[in-house]
Structure 1
Amino acid sequence: MKKTKSNNIEKLLRFPITWMLIGGIVLILVQGLLLVLMERVEGAVSLFFTLLLCIAAILLYKIIMKYVAQRPIPELSRQHAWMEAVRGVITGAFFIAVSTLTIVMLGGYSFQWAAAADPASILLRSLETALIAAVFEELLFRGLMLQAIQKLGGRWIALAITSLTFGAFHLGNPGATLWSAFAITLEAGVLLGAAFLWRRNLWFVIGLHFAWNALEGALGIPVSGLPAAGLFTVKTNGSAWLTGGDFGLEGSIVTVILGIVIAIPMLILAARKPPKNKE
């Protein structure tokens, strides 16, 4: 009787939705602690806590996957981790740089150096904020949610659901609209999901997400509607379809189109690989 009960508990814990929820709750609690600490400390101390709790989040993710889900964790393999992260950073920086330059060339953005800006402080805050978003959101959405749903319904259903959820997740941000949520679904949800399915590791996706947010913040462009005190003062001109309006770069049709263009070859390459989990 005890053995049967133990087996039932083990099966429940190994059920994808169970470990997805447990992992999600743990990550949200750790992220909440980190955000509270960041409000109370500054400079090097803030950076120390950011790095410490991001590492803790990755370790907790591994513990949940190993002991609750009882599955291997190739998505966080140490092999080529730095190389994959750097590739992701280059991809994310390229994406934001090209999107921004295109909007500038079309007359949508103009940049003026913020005379009162403290470059060191601004860059540090941009890097910290970007790292938190990249690590916690990718562990949650691509690490837990996408893989759990993939286990149950296949990778394409998982990509669709996580993309839509990721877009809806940003509806509460300042300046958010139904369009901005749809834009995030396509340019971020699909692109980041495609990157994960292609590379099959979180280091690449974390690097992409990190560079994306860090560059936006450093430039002074709102990050998904959240104001960023950057190195420049950004003035917008023309239609919100071009500039993204109050939501920032991610609300621009330019960014949506470029995100889809980058995602398409990733999806093609992902489709050529056999499914990671049995579908």
Structure 2
Amino acid sequence: MKKKLSGNNELLQDGRKLSAWGLFWRFPIVWMIAGAIGIILIDTLFRQLTEQAEGIASLISTLVMGCLAILVYKLTLTYLARRSTPEISIHRAGMETVLGVLTGSIFIIGSALIIMALGGYSFQWASSADTSSILIFSITPALSAAIVEELIFRGLMLQAIDKIGGKTLALAVTSLFFGVAHLGNTGATLWSAFAIVLEAGVLLGAAFLWRRNLWFAMGLHFAWNAVEGLLGIPVSGHPSAGLFTVKVHGPALLTGGDFGLEGSIIPIVISLLISIPMLIGTARNRRAEKEMNVHG
């Protein structure tokens, strides 16, 4: 057990005292900001390299960036927050990622099919499209966004705020910030930002709290963006040269308009239907952990 001392020192498990400087870095908001800055710097550097690269080289560059960003995250939590990082452990990483990809794929495909059934979308195969180029063009930015945004918003911000004010506050704040972060995208409006808060911020936050695993959240986020791009639907305002040509009909409330599927009411409803069971599962897991601690 860790013991606390009076004054500006704290006694760690091995009996060493943590200095005032160490306590400063251990404060949640401090390590959150420090880790986010490190991840953003790596992303910025490799984004320039990726834009200059072509084909498979851009994907490799993104994978290297992702590995370095995860390393920065792990070092931040280990040496500044002074805690372990089971949420990014290699154990079950493959299974959790696959589950996340399946969840995200079903979510986006289901949303698109419902909008299509209601007359909002019509799809036509883009026969002249270069399939390999489109795959890389869709996968690369989706992978980059999934890794960077999940490490920052769910890995750092949500856990830092959780330490200060609990999980409910952490979910609310990270969801709000996630929506605000997308206000600068092409075609963004207050409505689209609000939609992102509910469908993405809440869903991805609930996914992380439920599984306590960043691989699952990353997989869900990646599939969301990649599948949407492959369908030819704008990804949060970013145009997509997908495998299909999409024609949009009807009100923006149904189709999302120029912003894309995220601006539609349909994925908001579906995401909440997915998020609620995840949050119920989170509450059950917490109760089970408390009972184990009491009887342990």
What's the RMSD between the two structures over aligned residues? Answer: 1.6
List runs of 5+ in structure 1 lacking aligned partners.
Answer: none
User: How is 1:249-260 mapped onto 2 (pairs within 5 angstroms)?
Assistant: 249-260=261-272
Residue equivalent to 2:222 = 210
Cα deviation digits, residues 225-254 of structure 1 (max 9, x gap): 111111111110000000000100000000
- The residue number in structure 1 matching 2:90 is 78
Counterpart of 2:163 in structure 1 is 151
> Greater Rg, structure 1 or structure 2?
2
Q: Secondary structure at the match of 1:274?
A: helix
Between the aligned partners of 1:224 and 1:47, the Cα distance in structure 2 is 21
Say which SS state the counterpart of residue 273 (structure 1) adopts.
Answer: helix
> Which letter maps to 2:98?
V
> Partners of 2:60 and 2:197 in 1: how far apart?
32
Match of 1:200 in 2: 212
Query: How far did residue 193 of structure 1 move?
Result: 0.3
- The superposition leaves residues 24-61 of structure 1 with CA deviations (integer Å, 9 ceiling, x where unpaired) of 10111111112111111101211111111111111111
Matched, 1:126 2:138: yes
Structure 1, 3-12 or 62-71: larger mean CA deviation: 3-12
Amino acid aligned to 2:204: L
Q: Which of the numbers 147, 153, 159 marks the counterpart of 1:141?
A: 153
Once the two structures are TM-superposed, the CA of residue 116 in structure 1 deviates from its matched residue by 2.9
The alpha carbon displacement at 1:6 in A equals: 7.1
Letter in 2 for 1:61: Y
One-letter amino acid of the counterpart of residue 30, structure 1: I
Contiguous gaps of at least 5 residues in structure 2:
1-7, 10-16, 291-296
Alignment of 1:61 with 2:73, yes or no, is yes
Q: Do residues 167 (structure 1) and 173 (structure 2) align?
A: no
Residue type matched to 1:109 in 2? Answer: Y
Looking at structure 2, the residues matched to 229 and 26 of structure 1 have their Cα atoms a distance apart, in angstroms, of 32
Q: Which residue is 1:46 aligned to?
A: 58
User: In the alignment, what sits opposite 1:116?
Assistant: 128
**Structure 1 CA distance for aligned equivalents of residues 65 and 189 of structure 2:** 32
Q: Deviations over 1:99-151 (max 9, x none)?
A: 00000000000112223311100001111111000000000000000000000
Partners of 1:94 and 1:39 in 2: CA distance? 30
Higher relative contact order (CA 8 A, sep 6+): 1
Q: TM-score, normalised by structure 1?
A: 0.96
Letter in 1 for 2:112: T
Percent identity for Structure 1 against Structure 2: 60
**Is residue 34 of structure 2 the alignment partner of residue 22 of structure 1?**
yes
Q: How many residues align?
A: 275
Q: Provide TM-score, normalisation by structure 2.
A: 0.90
Distance 2:230 2:45 in 1: 24
Give 1:240's aligned residue: 252
Q: Secondary structure at the match of 1:171?
A: coil
Q: What is the alpha-carbon distance in structure 1 between the residues aligned to residue 51 and residue 162 of structure 2?
A: 37
